[in-house]
Amino acid sequence: MMNDVTVTGVEDGFLVLESRTGERFRLPIDEVLHSHVRRVRSRTDHGPRVSPKEIQSQLRAGLSAGDVAELTGASLETIERFEGPVLAELEHTVSSALSVPVLAEELPEDADATFGSAVRHRIDSLDAVDEHWASWKDPEEGWRIKLTFTAGGVDHDARWAFDAKRHALTPINDQAALLSRPGGGPSTMIPRLRAVSTEAAETESFAPEAFVEEEPPAPPVQPRLPKAARAAMNRGDDGHESPHDQTADLLEALRRRRGEREAAPQPEQDTAPAEGPTEPPAPLPSAPAADTPSSSRPRTPKKGRAALPSWDEIVFGAKPDED
C-alpha cells in the first residue's frame, strides 16, 4: 500500500515531502525528476503547441484571448499568459495617437491642441455617448485607430491609419474624414429629414404621359390596279404561267375594252333643220361589177375606230392568208 505525500518546501537541492501521518521525506532535484515532470506536463497539455510570437501577433491584430484559443486550438490559459503585454501595447498606441498635435481653431484657449482633444470637442457638440477608442495592428498596413460612438440614435465608426514613427494620422473612411476636416463637420454626420411634397412625388411617379400608347403607323397605301393586271402580277410571282392562260387573259382584256367602247355614249348628230334650202344628197357612185365579185365578203364600212383583231391574229399573231 502506497502513502500519499505532499511537497512542503525545498532544502539544499531537495524537495521536502510530508505524509498524512506527519512523516517527512527528501527527494533530490536531479535530471531524473526533471524528465518525469516534463513527461507529465506534455501529457496534460491539451491542444497543439503554439509559439508565443504567433499568439501575440494575433492578439495585437485585435483578436480576443477566446478568439485566439478557438483559432489556434490552444487552451485559454495558455493564451491568457501572453495577453497582458499585448493589451498594454494596444493602450499605449491609442494614447500616442490621441496625443498627436494638430491645428484646431475651434478648441478653447486652455485646451491642448491634440488630436484627441479636437475629436472629443467635435463629438461633444453632437451630444455623443458611448465613446470608445481601440487600436490594432494590421499585418500588411500597420496600426489602425478606431473610434465608436452614438449620436442622435445613430452609431458611428471612424477609423484612421496611424504612423507611430512619424506621429501622423490619416482618415481611412468617411466618418474619420468628417471628424478630421478643419472647421468641424459634425453637423453633417447626423442625417436631417425634410418634408417631401406628396403632390410632387405623385406627379413624378405617375406621369400621365408615361401611360400613353403610341398608335402604330398606318400601312402604306397600295395603288389599285385592274383585276387583269393584278392577276397577271400574281401569276408572274409564281413563275408558272402557261400559254393558255396568256391567251385567256388577252381575250378577257379585249372583251372588256370592247364593252367599254360600246357602252360609251355616241355624239348626237345635229338633227335641227339647216337654214335655207336643202339639197338632196348626191347619190354615191356605184362600184363597177368587175371590181367586186359576187362570192366575196361584204366590205366593212369605215368607222371612226379601229377594227378588232380577228381570232387568227390573236392566236397566231398574224393576218390569215386569203384563200
Q: Is residue 139 scored above 50 in pLDDT?
A: yes
Burial 266-287 (b: 16+ CB within 10 A, else e): eeeeeeeeeeeeeeeeeeeeee
Give the pLDDT confidence score for residue 111 in this predicted structure. Answer: 67
Q: Per-residue pLDDT tens for 146-190?
A: 999 998 888 999 999 999 899 999 999 999 999 888 765 554 444
User: Mean pLDDT over residues 265-290, rounded?
Assistant: 48
Provide the 8-state DSSP code for 289.
Answer: T
For residue 113, the one-letter residue type is A
- CA 77, 80, 81, 82 dihedral sign is positive
Residues 6+ apart with CB under 8 A from 279: none
Q: Is residue 264 scored above 80 in pLDDT?
A: no
- CA 96, 97, 98, 101 dihedral sign is positive
User: Mean pLDDT over residues 73-97, rounded?
Assistant: 91
Give the pLDDT confidence score for residue 135 in this predicted structure. Answer: 95
Closest CA to 54 of 93, 86, 77: 86
Q: Is residue 23 scored above 70 in pLDDT?
A: yes
Residues 6+ apart with CB under 8 A from 169: 97, 100, 115, 145, 160, 161, 162, 163, 180
User: Mean pLDDT over residues 296-311, rounded?
Assistant: 58
User: Mean pLDDT over residues 262-272, rounded?
Assistant: 52
Q: Is residue 230 scored above 80 in pLDDT?
A: no
CA distance 182 to 120: 14
Q: Per-residue pLDDT tens for 69-80?
A: 888 888 888 889
Cell numbers representing residue 13 in the block: 537541492
Q: Per-residue pLDDT tens for 101-125?
A: 887 666 666 667 889 888 988 888 8
Give the pLDDT confidence score for residue 204 in this predicted structure. Answer: 43
Mean pLDDT score of the chain: 72
Q: Is residue 218 scored above 80 in pLDDT?
A: no
User: Mean pLDDT over residues 295-303, rounded?
Assistant: 50
- CA 119, 123, 125, 130 dihedral sign is negative
pTM of the model: 0.45
User: 9 or 294: which carries more pLDDT confidence?
Assistant: 9
User: In sequence order, what E strands does the chain have?
Assistant: 5-11, 14-19, 24-28, 129-138, 142-151, 154-163, 168-171
